[in-house]
Amino acid sequence: MDKLRISLITPTYNERENLPLLAEEIFEIITAEPDIDLELIVVDDNSPDGTGQMAEGLKAQYPLQVVHRAGKLGLGSAVMEGFALSDRPYLGVIDADLSHDPAILPELIRSLRECDLVMGSRFGETSKVEKWAWHRKLTSQVGVGAAKILTGAEDPLSGYFFVRREVLEGFELTSSGYKILLEILIKCRYAKHRSVPFIFRNRQFSSSKLNLQEYLLFAKQILYFSWYKLFRCSTRR
């Protein structure tokens, strides 16, 4: 059986303490999977805490590439820059703050043999979310509910996903915020997708990047994607 050659993108901003722990977890799991060939691509937005320099130091231990960007340019564009750097047929995204449990990586990646798009889900039957405050749970449920109506996916906002490269070809992705998975689900063409439950872990060291500006951006994205889907459906009639 051919190896699954994967580039896993992790955008970073002030993740100096988390990044080495993430890399250790990922490659401890992947080295036990002989049918998976994975490289990690770190896209750093000029983190003032030295995350980019830390990433450079990890290259001696792991198959890892580092992209140094000039400033805080956004998660969506960081993901796309990582995709552009890769020459592999399968692409993935994982958060650097340790909230996305690497334990399900083998299942996510192997699902690409039969699926075009595979997502980690925080809302499956066996999923679990650690230590969320009530207001975070509420805003997440409202956001996921709206995105689920648009896409039919169980958790279109998890940000933890893998995709075949050909799914993205011919489409311009423009999300500057953290919801690039939602844009892929709405704009791109794929025959089959799957959701895999996982434990959404409490971040270890860094602080959340979510703020009022990100929530407003998401609301704007929902309105735009609703219009986009309606327009696309009307032009197909």
Q: Are 186 and 222 in contact (CB under 8 A)?
A: no
Specify the higher pLDDT residue, 210 or 222. 222
Q: Which of 3-12, 147-156, 179-188 has the highest mean pLDDT?
A: 3-12
Residues in CB range of 225: below 8 A, 6 or more apart: 150, 182, 183, 186
pLDDT value, residue 230: 65
Average pLDDT, the chain: 87
Over residues 178-207, mean pLDDT: 85
Q: If one looks up domain 4-236 in CATH, what number appears?
A: 3.90.550.10
The proportion of the chain whose per-residue pLDDT surpasses 90, expressed as a percent, equals 63
Residue 11 bridge partners (DSSP): 43
**Entry pTM:** 0.86
Range of lowest pLDDT (76-80, 86-90, 198-202): 198-202
pLDDT at 208 over 60: no
Q: What are the strands of the beta sheet with 117-121, ordered from one edge?
A: 64-68, 36-44, 4-12, 90-93, 161-164, 117-121, 193-197
pLDDT at 228 over 80: no
Q: Are 154 and 121 in contact (CB under 8 A)?
A: yes
pLDDT at 167 over 90: yes
